[in-house]
């Protein structure tokens, strides 16, 4: 049985229920990545201006890591939610561990390279994660009527501006 939220409910075992339809999490992450791509050239240029090429390359590498991390997060949630809610829970937990491992391995592989400034890389990873998440909070809908982004508020979908009455 499907309900109005796109959930195929399994009456016998609710954990085997699954999500159908478009993924709000992917919509949010793509909007967040568009905002990150807008800020990336400024961050890299400031890094080059104040810290030289090693800082600029470190910022670029850190931004790329975070963009891939956010995209993988949304993709894992989108895919596992269509399998079952139990798979979604496992995908969220183990996906986090896998993505954390990917970031750790990526940093360990480049830590001794001449083009890397570890402080700039670490600060970029932390600030980009938190900055993009807090920036995107302004555009997230808190209503089940509009899961994902508020209508007409995000960069991903400016064409569907609707007036919503309280």
| pLDDT, tens digit (0-9, with 9 covering 90-100), for 48-81 | 999 999 999 999 999 999 999 999 999 999 899 8
Q: Is residue 113 part of a domain?
A: yes
The sign of the CA dihedral 96, 98, 99, 100 is: positive
pLDDT greater than 50 at residue 159: no
> In whole angstroms, what is the distance from residue 11 CA to residue 153 CA?
36
Q: Is residue 160 part of a domain?
A: no
The whole-chain average pLDDT of the chain stands at: 84
Q: Is residue 149 part of a domain?
A: no
- Asked if residues 131 and 140 have their Cβ atoms less than 8 Å apart, the reply is no
Domain range enclosing 39:
7-16+23-137
Q: Is residue 68 part of a domain?
A: yes
Structure pTM?
Answer: 0.79
Q: What percent of the chain has pLDDT over 70?
A: 76
Q: Is residue 143 part of a domain?
A: no
- Asked if residues 65 and 132 have their Cβ atoms less than 8 Å apart, the reply is no
> In whole angstroms, what is the distance from residue 124 CA to residue 138 CA?
22
Q: Is residue 154 part of a domain?
A: no
Q: Is residue 85 part of a domain?
A: yes
Structurally, the chain folds into a number of domains equal to 1
Q: Is residue 124 part of a domain?
A: yes
pLDDT greater than 50 at residue 14: yes
> In whole angstroms, what is the distance from residue 36 CA to residue 118 CA?
21
């Amino acid at each position: 049985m499907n309900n109005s939220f796109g959930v195929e409910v399994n009456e016998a075992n609710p954990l085997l229920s699954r999500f159908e339809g478009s993924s709000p999490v992917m919509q949010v992450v793509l909007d967040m990545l568009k905002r990150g791509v807008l800020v990336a050239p400024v961050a890299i240029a400031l890094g080059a201006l104040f810290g030289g090429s090693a800082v600029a390359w470190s910022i670029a590498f850190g931004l790329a890591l975070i963009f891939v991390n956010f995209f993988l997060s949304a993709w894992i949630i989108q895919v596992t939610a269509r399998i079952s809610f139990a798979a979604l829970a496992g995908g969220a937990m183990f996906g986090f561990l896998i993505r954390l491992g990917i970031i750790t391995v990526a940093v360990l592989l480049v830590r001794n390279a001449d083009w890397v400034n570890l402080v700039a890389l670490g600060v970029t990873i932390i600030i980009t994660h938190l900055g993009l998440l807090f920036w995107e909070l302004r555009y997230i809908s808190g209503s089940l009527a509009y899961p994902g982004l508020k209508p007409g508020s995000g960069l991903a979908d400016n064409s569907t501006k609707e007036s919503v009455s309280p």
